[in-house]
Amino acid sequence: MSARAGGENGTAPEGEIPFQIAEAAGGFAVHPIHWSMAANISGLRCIYCDQGGPFTAEHVVPAGLGGDDSAWILRDCVCARCNTAVFSPLETKFLRASPLAYARLFLQPGTRKRSGARGAPSIQAAASFHHDLATGTLLEADMRAGGETHIWPQLIAGEPPTFRLYAKDQAAAKQLLDTILAAITADMVTVIEKRREGFEVILRHTPLNWDGTNYSCGVSFEQPTLAADFAVWLEPLGPPSTAKDQDATPMTSRLFMRASKQLNARADAADDVATILTVLRCNPLSQTSEGTMARTGEAHIHQSLTIDMDVHFRVLTKIGINVCAKLFGPDFVRAPAFSVAEDYARLGTGNIRRNFIGKMTPYGSMFGPSMPDHHVLAISTTKTPNGGTALVFAAQLYGAELTQMVCLAESPINFDPALNTVLLHVDYVNHRIRQLTLEEHTVAVVLAHPGIDPNDVPEA
């Protein structure tokens, strides 16, 4: 990343003091300056890719993490390319398929507000099953905010030609049956298998042709876009590893629908889908066994998530850089010392110091007892082994005992003036962010935990 210097364009937001960077020997320093001295220097470049606009508003803390606070938004700092093409999908994986996804699901009532209403947290699971303990059946299901189980409508194969219908209500059951009926009255249905090659999604199409007696597989082909009037999306058949040692009925092929309203099949291969559709076409749906309203009482939930820890730490790094840009001005993070962290956040390249820190380490004990309904974030400095200074970002998310830490920048010189620890409390229930000193944080922790010894909250 190229070296960048200068000040922010425009006028300083009320109550904020802009900072100018002094770059010496590749280092960085923070000096409060009058706003007019900083105007029209940087020419509005993205703090991550160093390119021009167009720019989009960037939440300092992701809205989905509880940071949907209009007072904590970066403007004219992050370009639309970085924000939309890079960071939006990265944050989705961070929020829905990372170690904190379940804490978010159970503890955070709402995400970003759209059209006047907040969305609900969700999990992005590769596979998700509700284990009905009464029957031993593994049902296609989803886990929603607060741990609520949602059963998707599904038709599960039994002894040919019978099927058992499961749904949460009659309306969901009818929607599934209507969709299946539309498919099996078509003379060609296409089975779609999705796979990835790097960032590219490839769809394997296998046409199923009706010959008057059976559906049979045609020649498969691959392309990145869907090319079918009637499609069935194929997913692998097999129980999750967590269910293999439990008293679960062996899984059989099934058709089901999720929120997308697409028709899905869980089967070993396209040939098996052809067999299911043939049986259903030759045997009217009225002969299926009686529908069952799926229970969501006592049950085990089995989910499979693909977790990428690089995604987790890349988003933490981005949050740390955003916090610095908000607190000290965008030109602060344009210093060359931040280039490694910025490239890591944007591209996933390079290597930064990162870790989960236990409670008994200096950074792990920085926050003291957790704040109810709050994330606690901190920007601070520490000495490096070579005598320089490292700027670190630490986060205690959803009250976790492990503090997560990333190094944002390292310099052979010290900050000038010395940067005191700055803390943020992120109220993820009400989407409010508040900046505090360490002393103010200590007071807040003591008030939140009556009877606690203030000495249990660090003073420096």
Residue ranges of domains in the chain: 19-95+309-456, 127-304
Which is more confident, 319 or 37?
A: 319
Q: Residues of 273-305 as b/e, b for ≥16 C-beta within 10 angstroms?
A: bbbbbbbbbeeeeeebeebbebbeeebebbbeb
State the Cα angle at 329 between 326 and 330, rounded to 5°. Answer: 95
pLDDT, residue 401, reads: 77
Confidence band (pLDDT; 50, 70, 90) for 286?
low
Q: What is the pTM of this model?
A: 0.79
pLDDT, residue 363, reads: 44
pLDDT, residue 159, reads: 84
- Summarised one tens digit per residue, pLDDT across range 135-175 is 888 999 998 888 888 999 999 998 878 899 999 889 999 99
Rounded Cα distance between 66 and 64, Å, is 5
Average pLDDT, the chain: 81
Token couple for 341: 């962290």
Mean pLDDT of 441-445: 87
Lowest mean pLDDT among 2-6, 214-218, 420-424: 2-6
Confidence band (pLDDT; 50, 70, 90) for 114?
confident
How far from chain centre, in Å, is Cα 300? 24
Classify residue 201 by burial, with Cβ atoms within 10 Å: 0-12, 13-18, 19+.
Answer: exposed
pLDDT, residue 83, reads: 94
- pLDDT score of 242 more than 90: no
Rounded Cα distance between 444 and 175, Å, is 51
- pLDDT score of 7 more than 90: no
- pLDDT score of 458 more than 60: no
Confidence band (pLDDT; 50, 70, 90) for 244?
low
Mean pLDDT of 369-378: 92
Strands 154-157 and 254-257: antiparallel
Nearest to 163 by CA among 280, 282, 296, 281: 280
Q: Report the half-sphere exposure of 201 (CA within 13 A, side-chain side).
A: 7
Rounded Cα distance between 105 and 255, Å, is 27
**Is 281 strand, coil or helix?**
helix
Helix then strand count (H, E) for the chain reads 9, 26
Most confident of 25-29, 30-34, 270-274: 270-274
pLDDT, residue 18, reads: 33
How far from chain centre, in Å, is Cα 402? 19
Mean pLDDT of 387-407: 87
- pLDDT score of 38 more than 90: no
pLDDT, residue 296, reads: 47
Which is more confident, 164 or 38?
A: 164
Lowest mean pLDDT among 20-29, 105-114, 402-411, 439-448: 20-29
Confidence band (pLDDT; 50, 70, 90) for 395?
very high
How far from chain centre, in Å, is Cα 241? 23
- pLDDT score of 226 more than 60: yes
Which is more confident, 7 or 272?
A: 272
- pLDDT score of 29 more than 60: no
Which is more confident, 345 or 238?
A: 345
Confidence band (pLDDT; 50, 70, 90) for 410?
confident
